[in-house]
Amino acid sequence: MSTKTKSDCIDVKKLSNYEIFDGLSEKFIEHFCGIIDVIEFEAGETIIQEGAVGNSILLLLDGNVEISQALTLKTNIAGIDTREKSLIKLSSDAHPFFGEMSLFSDDDKRTATVKAIDKCLAGRISKMDFFQICNSNPSIGNLVMQNIARVLTGRLKQSNQNVLKLTTAFSLLMQE
């Protein structure tokens, strides 16, 4: 079961390693320290559930996670295939963040499931707190938004490549 604590201040130097904070001075990163909820997850526990409404971004502070997606679309048909495809495993050593898409639309559904492989610590920044900082400090907001856009663009390019590979493989199978 996950446990949550309010961080007095996560180490600014540690936060500076996350791509979302690239280009920000430690003084600017300090704005985020006090709003991060630190949540502990046990091995096997779900951190984010695909399809659930999201309203926060998470930083993996410690541990390892696996990100997966359902192999089929949700329907009302009984007995639907619920298998998932593991997309990637991430370590806190790489300073990943996830859930950022939920910051940009109301009632946005999570697009993947994130599960703890081992005991994990995640820092959660709520949408409301995130935008309060960005709106009250436009220079911080501008840099953070550019960083998120850069990461999302990279992820979109990778997804496009994966779709192209799958489409090509399917076309080749259909020709046989």
Residue 102: is its pLDDT beyond 60? yes
Closest CA to 84 of 49, 42, 47: 49
Domain of residue 145 covers 3-175
Name the residue with higher pLDDT: 156 or 62: 62
What is the domain-level CATH number for residue 129?
2.60.120.10
Residue 176: is its pLDDT beyond 80? no
151 CB-contact burial (10 Å; exposed 0-12 / middle 13-18 / buried 19+): middle
**How does residue 30 score in pLDDT terms, banded at 50, 70 and 90?**
very high
Name the residue with higher pLDDT: 90 or 167: 90
Q: What is the DSSP string of 23-40?
A: T--HHHHHHHHTTPEEEE
Q: How many domains does the chain fold into? A: 1
Give dist(CA 24, CA 37) in Å, integer.
21
Region 77-104 average pLDDT = 82
Residue 148: is its pLDDT beyond 70? yes
For residue 125, the cross-strand partners are: 57
Q: What is the pLDDT of residues 104-124, one digit of tens each?
A: 877 778 888 999 999 999 999
